[in-house]
Chain A
């Protein structure tokens, strides 16, 4: 009876089935690999449909042969448990493996083997693959926009200073640590603003004035998202407190503000900043385009920030409020010394996510004519000397943004996990 059971192995013929299954499985992989890398169809003598599906069928039979409940061989059990639990999973496994194998040679050859990076002109790109020369030539523009080439050190220096000042808080002496919140919420934004304003914009201390119209590229993305974050945080905090206040006027104004900004798309807010803002300001009052954009994104993000902080405030147990009140603390004392320090610690991952969304939203400022990375790509793409390299540019920008955003999201996951265990 056992010998008739063709598709399932038993104790006696287990190794036959195992070797036969592995053999069939490797044949199917080999067939696809040969097909993908050397463009040779080994099974071309078979009729069309069978020739296409042959590796799938062979691999499926092979995986079916090696599937057992428990074999005692460690690696085989891992395979069976993870990628070969049943027929459906086996087919999906094969399809994914085949898709990866099939996609590897064309993408590799486009990105690396047939690509060009030498030279400085379009003519240097002779291969059939990507033209990284384009990205190389335009690299400084993508990073710094139209900012004068010999002044790029100013942007770099400003960023280094701002980051260093950000880490400054960690090295404070213990007896000064109580001013940490004060430093980050009020002093740091002001210093950072002055550093960026005087270093990048210039006009003082013997530095040449560079108008904001020339700012651009990835550095502008950082500047806009950085300022919006540090300005929207205090505003969001006030709004979150306002929404939880028991004074009806303040509560309803906060709710109205938050719901209004959360209900409109950012692009209309930017439209507003470019066409409506000038109407609302006194006639002889001129406000720079970049400042208008930063103000309107800050107002917009503050609403999201407020909701995140409100989540933190609501997560605190009632006992914290009661305890603070029973010590005779007033509203502000209670919030500054008891509630906010705990709540803000809870919302750091949420703020991180808001910041992530903010970074992903900054390319939108192109609608008001500010060219950050995506805007610079659009400019470079229409340059008559460099037509037809849109793909390379977008892939380059996508990789940069992906690295930034992925790192940030992983960081926020880690923070979340960390704070979860602490409570």
Chain B
């Protein structure tokens, strides 16, 4: 009996405490909102937003609703996270491998790169790129072309845009390519297991990748044109680039800072993963006659990836959360558009901040759930 009370009493007290805190907050919020004449509700989401966003992936103007403004912000957040994740992975793998190089200079340069970029606050790096480095770029009329067709100016990076005709047919052909490669590799694996025959899957896939989309150009009526940015004079002293895609400097500064900062953490994950493979594994693989390439592909990588991927995903998650610093340099991400401008206009503090937090929370929890599932799947099953 005594034991039971010991178990139940603390739980009831904790529960009462949590409920009490929540009740206190809700009560206060209720009184405060009543006094100020604000009502709680999500009806504002369908109202006209009447503010403009500088940079948007989907069509958006002031006449659209707040819900669409939220979507614009979310897409911008995802865009900057996606680009930064690609760059930080490339840089991270390069520097992670370089830290294990036998070459003294390479090893130490990589170590200094990691120590340098990860010990400076991310916000300071964003400020540095945006306010100091990118402000030193030339104005549009003085910008020389990079790679012939792109222009890096103080107003942004201008790249050619693609103009497709019959894009859907091309996308179908890509889909067909993926399906056929999956079928062929499954068939090849079966053939090897059953009859011991090997077919050159790689070259067949390469052929399909080139032939099928090319066919759509000749037969399907698909065509691709480029729209190259052209310098246009607005008035006597002001020039802009017309046509193509203009990436705003906020986006560039953010991608630079996020990918350099996160790449140091990815590099450490990669290094730990490769170092985590015992020497015996490589020696054992070499002693049964595998070539260096096969050792890397069949023995080292599968084991190293098992160590590398979970912490790296964690870093991707951190990057996505850190992309909210975009608000500091007025890149229209979720925090700036929704928790900034929309909140200022509607005054719906509780609703908007909770939606913003829930959005980040659901991204985090979704990735965490996928990671747990993946970890369970790749776990070494010891007998």
Contact of B357 among A81, A268, A362, A366 (CB under 8 A): A268
Of the stretches A89-97, A116-124, A337-345, the one at the interface is A89-97
Whether A66 is near chain B, meaning CB under 8 Å from some CB there, is: no
- Interface segment among A1-9, A51-59, A321-329, A394-402: the answer is A394-402
* Contact of B127 with A374 in the complex, beta carbons under 8 Å: yes
Beyond A253-B14, A276-B349, A279-B32, is A264–B103 a contact (Cβ under 8 Å)? Answer: no
Contacts of A276 in B (CB 8 A): 349-350, 353
Q: Which residues of A contact B32 (CB under 8 A)?
A: 278-279, 283
Nearest CB to that of A403 among chain B residues?
A: B119
Rounded to whole Å, the gap between the CB of B185 and the closest CB of chain A is 32
**Contacts A96-B109, A272-B353 known; A265 to B120 CB distance under 8 Å?**
no
Assess the B132–A391 pair: CB atoms within 8 A: yes
Q: How far is the CB of A382 from chain B (nearest CB, A)?
A: 10
Please state if A89 and B135 are interface contacts (CB–CB under 8 Å). no
Whether A360 lies near B132 (C-beta < 8 A) is no
A381 CA to B127 CA, complexed, in Å:
11
* B290: interface (CB < 8 Å): no
Are B106 and A89 in contact, CB atoms less than 8 angstroms apart? Answer: yes
Contact assessment for B105 and A279 in the assembled complex, using a CB-CB cutoff below 8 Å:
no
Interface status of B365 (Cβ within 8 A of chain A) = yes
CB-contacts of B25-40 with A (<8 A): 25, 28-29, 31-33, 35
How far apart sit A269 and B29, CA to CA, in the bound complex (Å)? 18
* A268/B353 in contact, CB under 8 A: yes
How many positions in chain A have a CB within 8 Å of any CB in the partner chain?
Answer: 57
| Contact indicator B364/A262 (Cβ below 8 Å) | yes
In the assembled complex, the CB of B361 is this many whole angstroms from the nearest CB of chain A, namely: 4
For A364, the chain B residues whose CB sits under 8 A away are 123, 325
A265 to B335, CA, bound (A): 10
Given contacts A92-B103, A264-B361, A363-B124, contact A283 B31 (CB under 8 A): yes
Name the CB-closest residue of A to B361: A263
Q: Within 8 Å CB of A262, what residues of B?
A: 364
Question: Are B357 and A272 in touch, CB under 8 angstroms?
Answer: yes
Partner pick for B364 among A263, A359, A381, A395, CB 8 A cutoff: A263
A360 and B325 alpha carbons, distance in the complex (Å) = 13
Interface hits, B1-40 → A, CB 8 Å: 7, 10-11, 14-15, 18, 25, 28-29, 31-33, 35
How near does chain B come to A172, taking the closest CB pair, in angstroms? Answer: 34
Q: In this assembly, does A82 line the interface, its C-beta being within 8 Å of a C-beta of chain B?
A: yes
Q: Which residues of B contact A361 (CB under 8 A)?
A: 121
Docked Cα-Cα span, A376 to B128, in Å, equals: 14
Q: Which of B306-354 contact A (CB under 8 A)?
A: 321-322, 324-325, 327-328, 335, 339, 343, 349-350, 353
Q: Is the CB of B28 within 8 A of A402?
A: no
Residue contact B128 to A394, C-beta cutoff 8 Å: yes
Q: A268-B353, A398-B128 are in contact. Are A260 and B102 (CB under 8 A)?
A: no
Instruction: Point out the residues of chain B lying under 8 angstroms from A409, CB to CB.
Output: 115, 119
CB pair A92 B105 closer than 8 Å: yes
The reply on A83 being an interface residue by CB < 8 A is: yes
B131 located at the interface, meaning its Cβ lies under 8 Å from any Cβ of chain A in the complex:
yes
Chain B hits for A89, CB < 8 A: 101-103, 106
- For B357, the chain A residues whose CB sits under 8 A away are 264, 268-269, 272
CB-defined A-B contacts under 8 Å, sample of 14: A81-B102, A85-B102, A247-B11, A259-B368, A263-B360, A265-B322, A267-B335, A280-B25, A363-B123, A378-B127, A381-B131, A390-B135, A398-B128, A401-B124
A contact residues vs B (CB 8 Å cutoff)? 81-83, 85, 89, 92-93, 96-97, 247-250, 253, 259-260, 262-269, 271-272, 275-276, 278-283, 359-364, 366-367, 374, 377-378, 381, 390-391, 394-395, 397-398, 401-402, 405-406, 409
Q: Which 7 A-B pairs have the closest CB atoms?
A: A263-B364, A405-B119, A249-B11, A82-B104, A265-B321, A263-B361, A275-B349
